[in-house]
Amino acid sequence: MKNLSLLLFGFLIVNLSYSQTVDEPTIYEMNNVYKKNHHIEKNVIKQPHLREADVMWSNKVWRKLDLRQKINHPFYYPQDKGEQTTVDRDNLFSCLYQAALGEGSWGNEGGGQQIRAYDALNSDEFVKELSAEELRNIVEGTVGDPIPVLNNFGEETYDENGDLVTKPGSREAPFRASDIKEWRIKEQWFFDKQRSVMDVRIIGICPVADARDPVSKKLTGGKTPICWFYFPEITDVLNNAQVFNLFNNEAENRTFLDIFRKRQFSSVIYKRGNAYDRKISDYMIGLDALLEAERIKAEIFNLEHDLWEY
């Protein structure tokens, strides 16, 4: 009898040790046939340390990145159409905007990370930091006057203190996410004599929206910069937000940080560091401005080429 009890007890222990609890799959897991952890768990690869003594030459360059070009579509899509259509991807602006409000779900260990945004209307040098509410007012519009709460008879209602009962007004003059068709990039090119390479590092990026008339809501043809993001501060968010692979291989999806660091985008130079602090459009227009941008690009390329002796 004693041996039988020991046998049953041992059998029970074995069953408990091999039993597994089946967790409910997440929405992300339900939309894939295998679990993807690569982009969620990977850490940011640090760039080589740069000393001032190793920089022989440097120059700041500003670029315009047009999201209407096919190679830049991963920055623009998917667009919100009123319902969630993708659970594992988002466009670049939505990704950074949610992170700036502290509502994002990107970052190491799946924790949301709040990033800072800076005023873009007066400067591109990260002088004034915007609060989350200031950024929300720029993007979603300012809240209008309170609206009185009416009763069933269409009459204004009052509380026990005799004060008019109101609800917040709707937001006025908001941007549409689809209006953000351009990004501005501020970067610095330099020659590192320690590694003997011409290199570039992005300093900041800025979303730019097509301007609309606040009354008619029609496009005016102008551009409105929304805010600047300091690039070194947002690398964690960009590193864990994947984008669609244009080569139609979803097993090799990339992240926004991959695209920026590998320079897998198309852009046009609109400003270079100069004594007058002026843009190319201030002294050239049309085709001449485009040719000037190409000249600056070729000059940077030739500078590195001329440093070598064959």
What's the pLDDT tens digit per position in 294-303? 999 999 999 8
- Residue 10's pLDDT is what? 61
Q: Where are the alpha helices (DSSP H) in 21-178?
A: 27-30, 38-41, 73-76, 92-100, 132-140
- Residue 62's pLDDT is what? 97
* 106-113, long-range: CB < 8 A, 24+ apart: 106/236, 106/237, 106/240, 106/241, 107/236, 107/237, 107/240, 108/41, 108/43, 108/236, 108/240, 109/41, 110/40, 113/236, 113/237
Q: Which of 307, 21, 64, 67 is nearest to 186 (CA)?
A: 64
Average pLDDT over residues 238-243: 90
Question: Lowest-confidence range among 100-104, 135-139, 213-217, 259-263?
Answer: 213-217
- Please report how the helices 132-140 and 92-100 are oriented relative to each other, as an axis angle in degrees rounded to 10: 140
What's the pLDDT tens digit per position in 76-128? 998 865 555 677 788 999 999 999 998 765 444 444 568 999 999 988 999 99
Kind and range of the H or E run holding 7 = helix 2-18
Q: Degrees (nearest 5) of the Cα angle 148, 153, 158?
A: 40
One-letter amino acid for residue 158 of the chain: Y
Say if residues 255 and 242 touch (Cβ distance below 8 Å).
Answer: yes
Say if residues 206 and 225 touch (Cβ distance below 8 Å).
Answer: yes
Say if residues 226 and 209 touch (Cβ distance below 8 Å).
Answer: yes
Residues 105, 242: Cα–Cα separation, whole Å: 12
Q: How far is CA 230 from CA 61, 100, 156, 241, in A?
A: 15, 12, 48, 17
Question: What secondary structure letter does DSSP report for 3?
Answer: H
Question: What secondary structure letter does DSSP report for 144?
Answer: -
| Dihedral class, residue 91 (left if φ above 0, else alpha if ψ from -120 to 50, else beta) | beta
Banded model confidence at residue 283, pLDDT cuts 50, 70, 90: very high
| 104-136 as b/e: b if 16+ CB within 10 A | bebbeeeeebebbbbbbeeebebeeebeeeebb
β-bridge mates for residue 200, sequence order:
189
What's the pLDDT tens digit per position in 156-165? 777 777 777 7
* 288-297, long-range: CB < 8 A, 24+ apart: 293/268, 293/269, 296/61, 296/269, 296/272, 297/269
Q: What φ, ψ does residue 134 adopt, rounded to 5°? A: -65, -40
- Residue 110's pLDDT is what? 43
Residues 243, 265: Cα–Cα separation, whole Å: 13
Percentage of residues in the chain with pLDDT exceeding 90? Answer: 50
Average pLDDT over residues 256-267: 95
- Residue 19's pLDDT is what? 46
Mean pLDDT of all residues belonging to the chain: 83
Pick the more confident residue, 33 or 310: 33
Q: How far is CA 99 from CA 78, 135, 235, in A?
A: 17, 12, 12
Q: Which residue has the tokens 């008879």?
A: 153
Pick the more confident residue, 210 or 172: 210
The three-class DSSP label of residue 298 is helix
